[in-house]
Amino acid sequence: MKTLHQLKDEKVYVDLKHLAEFIDAAGFSPTFPKDDKGRVSLPFAIALICGAQPHHASDDFEYLLRVLPAFGRTRFANCWDAIEAEVDRDIVEWSNSVSTADMCERIISIAMSIELS
């Protein structure tokens, strides 16, 4: 896991803020990477903001990492790791146990912690 200073230097807080805004706008899907209403899971949302194509719908970290363009792989892993480190749980499990509002609020809080470090 990278330090807060490294995450700040790589501007992970920007991606996390975009992630929270995207989930808030699109809606959260607790059971599918993407449902018929356009709501997305947390892992798939991270992948989308990091450059994944919408047809690569999945919640699997390794799969999403493989289908991302090279420029998005580090960003994706950094966002995933920052969230998991903060919530101390698997992000799929965690995201299914909180409300969308709580999830977005926590992600913004993580972003602010990184930005202000």
The per-residue pLDDT for range 35-51, each reduced to its tens digit, is 989 899 999 999 999 99
Exposed e or buried b per residue across 107-116, where buried means at least 16 C-beta atoms within 10 angstroms of its C-beta: bbebbebbbe
Please state whether the predicted TM-score (pTM) of the whole model is above 0.85.
yes
Q: What is the pLDDT of residues 5-37, one digit of tens each?
A: 999 999 999 999 999 999 999 999 987 898 989
Q: Where are the alpha helices (DSSP H) in 1-117?
A: 4-9, 12-26, 42-49, 61-67, 70-87, 91-95, 100-115
C-beta separation of 27 from 38 below 8 A: yes
Please say whether the beta carbons of 21 and 101 come within 8 A: no
Q: CB within 8 A of 63, min separation 6: which ones?
A: 56
